[in-house]
Amino acid sequence: MKVKQQIILTAVICLITFNSSQLSAQDRDIHFTQYGMSPININPALTGIFNGDIRFTGNYRNQWFSVPVSYNTVSLAYDRKIYNVKLKNGLFGLGGMINYDQAGDSKLNSLQINLAGSYTQRITPRNFLTLGANAGFAQRALSRDNLTWDQQFQNGQFNGALPGEEIPTLAKIYPDFGVGLNWHFQVPNSRRTQFDLGAAYYHAHQPNVSFYDAENVPLRARLNAQFLGAFKVLPKFDVIANGNFYNQGESNQAVAGGGIRYHFDERIGRESAIQLGAEYRFLFRDSWAPVVTFYHKQWKVGVSYDFNLSDFSVATNGNGGPELGIMYLITKVKPLPVYKSCPIF
């Protein structure tokens, strides 16, 4: 197999996300089934949009471990609110994020390091509008060590001592930018009924990510839209409704999900709840995943498992892979002027 063909094949297997639509090798960003547990990855305008002052998030995904082309994805993020008593109806958000994934014999990997910022303006006591942006750099790299080429096969026998084809660049570094807008709705004096509806645009400048100097392979811009909602329906029960859609190049992905959350304890500092739900990728009948989320004080932990429904299930036997999401919130005691000037979340 020619080196370009092998790189493209590895990239497609690495970056495809249970979607049967046509893809190019560079047309898919990382994704998580529990996208609500990785908010800055779906919209920089979600920076600082949470119940608390400081938020840490961590996500791990192992996809298609049952076949030789499995890949691992890790994301770590931090964001916080920045209060200013002079802003009577607004606040800033600031954060940062590191994403990494790797797959295939070529160890094709992607590293992203971004800073994110946002500004939230209170429109009414129930409605808040946030504008956000992220900026940083990314790198894509691969290893030649385990790659083979057609000229290394002679008379049906493989000879690793024979030279393969040259790859001019084994690592590509490029700048990365994104912008987003989010509408946050919340019932005053309640943390249980609220939702976020927004859209974001990533890779607007479509950087060249080709490993070959003479080629221009743009990283397609990604348009992302999200809905994350929770609605109190009974004293102990909430209904959860989520949705996420994105378009990147010729590929599209749509996910819808929901569930039920039961509250054991709502006392501040002693909050405890469990949430049972599921997510379904309904474009091209790709996959579904049961999701269990535990809430305890400052901690939120989600566990899910993807079951593949696409044509690739012949190779995976229906197994997609496990995913873990962790969120830790810190809430500080703020002086009275801060509460008066910024009654948000």
- Any bridge partners for residue 208, and if so which? 218
Confidence of residue 182 (pLDDT cuts 50, 70, 90): very high
Confidence of residue 332 (pLDDT cuts 50, 70, 90): confident
CB 170 within 8 A of CB 141: yes
Predicted local confidence at residue 211, as pLDDT: 75
Residue 198 domain-assigned? yes
Predicted local confidence at residue 194, as pLDDT: 95
Q: Residue 144: which CATH number?
A: 2.40.160.40
C-alpha to C-alpha distance for 121 and 342, rounded to whole angstroms: 10
Residue 79 domain-assigned? yes
Q: What is the mean pLDDT of residues 167-177?
A: 80
Predicted local confidence at residue 281, as pLDDT: 86
CB-CB neighbours of 330 under 10 Å: 11
Map the chain to HEC letters: CCHHHHHHHHHHHHHCCCCCCCCCCCCCCCCCCCHHHCHHHHCHHHCCCCCCCEEEEEEEEEECCCCCCCEEEEEEEEEEEECCCCCCCEEEEEEEEEEEEEECCCCEEEEEEEEEEEEEEEEECCEEEEEEEEEEEEEEECCCCCCCCHHHEECCEECCCCCCCCCCCCEEEEEEEEEEEEEEEECCCCCCCEEEEEEEEECCCCCECCCCCCCCCECCCEEEEEEEEEEECCCCEEEEEEEEEEEECCEEEEEEEEEEEEEEECCCCCCEEEEEEEEEECCCCCEEEEEEEEEECCEEEEEEEEEECCCCHHHHCCEEEEEEEEEEEECCCCCHHHHHHCCCC
C-alpha to C-alpha distance for 44 and 131, rounded to whole angstroms: 8
CB-based contacts of 218, cutoff 8 Å, min separation 6: 26, 206, 207, 208, 209
Q: Is the pLDDT of residue 14 over 80?
A: no
CB 63 within 8 A of CB 247: no
Residue 221 domain-assigned? yes
Alpha carbon separation from 78 to 94, 117, 139 (Å, rounded): 8, 11, 21
Containing domain of residue 288, as a range? 3-155+165-341
Q: What is the mean pLDDT of residues 36-53?
A: 95
Predicted local confidence at residue 213, as pLDDT: 75
Q: What is the mean pLDDT of residues 282-311?
A: 86
Q: Return the percentage of the chain with pLDDT > 90, whole number.
A: 51
C-alpha to C-alpha distance for 321 and 196, rounded to whole angstroms: 28
C-alpha to C-alpha distance for 227 and 311, rounded to whole angstroms: 28
Residue 160 domain-assigned? no
Confidence of residue 26 (pLDDT cuts 50, 70, 90): very low
Tell me how many domains the chain contains.
1
Confidence of residue 172 (pLDDT cuts 50, 70, 90): confident
User: What pLDDT, in 10s, does the model give residues 70-80?
Assistant: 678 999 999 99
Residue 241 domain-assigned? yes
Predicted local confidence at residue 143, as pLDDT: 67
Predicted local confidence at residue 2, as pLDDT: 41
Q: What is the mean pLDDT of residues 96-122?
A: 87
pTM exceeding the 0.95 threshold for the entire prediction: no
Residue 115 domain-assigned? yes
Residue 48 domain-assigned? yes
Residue 27 domain-assigned? yes
